[in-house]
Structure formats: structure tokens, C-alpha cells
Amino acid sequence: MALACANVRKGRQRCSSRIDVFPELGTIRRIIGRGLVPSCPNNHRRRAKMHVSDYMTAAPTTIPASADYQQAFEIMEQHDLHHLPVVDASDCVAGILTRRDLQLAARCFKEAPVEVREVMHTPVTTIAADTDLAEAVECMRRDRIGCLPVSEDGGRHLVGIITESDLLRALATLLAER
């Protein structure tokens, strides 16, 4: 199995609190972690294989670290996003940007030109696509984050993103199988 969680870039946290924390992630982790499918004969239950790749958003919208934060706001509004992966000049994961980051930036910087790299979250935790979904939930719960960029090459090449909404979709799938 590939590296599950990796810190891609060291840096200081730019925000005093993380946002979009879903308090029920512990419950979701327990349900997904069991992966119980009650439709098996004789009430035998089997572990369903659920991977990050089954529920992630592939090829997510990204923004360069050098872009203006107001451009990031426009992209997030246009695509109805809550999380926006930030990439460096080599197209490697550099950070993550949230709506709250942009709201704080707007209050602090108003119309001033400020690069995304100044308001993004770093370091960013990434996860491999073949990681068990329960492990992704635990990683998000433990680190109190609302999304995980999905990457290859030990956290460098972005292939997707998994968010709280994706985890709720996975939970709905499990519950529908009951």
C-alpha cells in the first residue's frame, strides 16, 4: 500500500484555527471502518473494500500559489468549492485554501494584491488513492481537516481530492446497502 498520509511542505500555519471540521467524522470512521454489508447470506457480514479512489473528485480544480487571492475566491464561487488545492510552479501540491482563508484575507487585505501562498494552509496532508477510506476518515478526524488532496509520488502529483461531502456520499452508499 502506498504512503497514506504525507506532509508535503513544511511551513508555519497561517490561520489560528482550521475550519470545515465535521464533528461526526468519528462516527463516519466507525461505520466505514467496519464496512459491514448485511446482505451476505446467513447474516455473515463481510468487509467492503472502500478506497479513497472510489469517492474522491478526480482532477480537481487547482490554483497556482502565485495567483491573487481574489482570483481564488472567484474560482471557488464559480465552481461552488469549499476547498481549493494550491500547486507550485512544478504542479506539485503546495497547500490548501478554504473559504474561511479567503474571508479572513478579504478582511485583512481588502483590495490589496496578495498571493495565494500568503493565505493558504501549509503544510498540507495528502493521501494516496489506494488508501482505505476508513484510514482517510481517521486522518481527517485526527488532523481536524475538511479535505485531503489525493496524490501520487509520495505527496507530489495531485490526482484528486476527498472532502467531507465525499465521505457523506460513501456513508450514504453503506447505509443504502443495509
Radius of gyration of the chain (CA): 17
The CATH architecture that domain 6-21+51-164 belongs to is Roll (3.10)
Weakest mean pLDDT among 34-38, 53-57, 138-142, 152-156: 34-38
Cβ-contact 128, 4 below 8 angstroms = yes
153: confidence class by pLDDT, cuts 50, 70, 90: confident
The pLDDT score that the predictor gives to residue 120 is 93
Report percent pLDDT > 70 for the chain: 72
The pLDDT score that the predictor gives to residue 2 is 36
The DSSP 8-state label assigned to residue 67 in this structure reads: S
CA atoms within 13 A on the CB side of 172: 7
pLDDT in tens, 67-122: 998 899 999 999 999 999 999 988 889 999 999 988 888 888 888 888 999 999 99
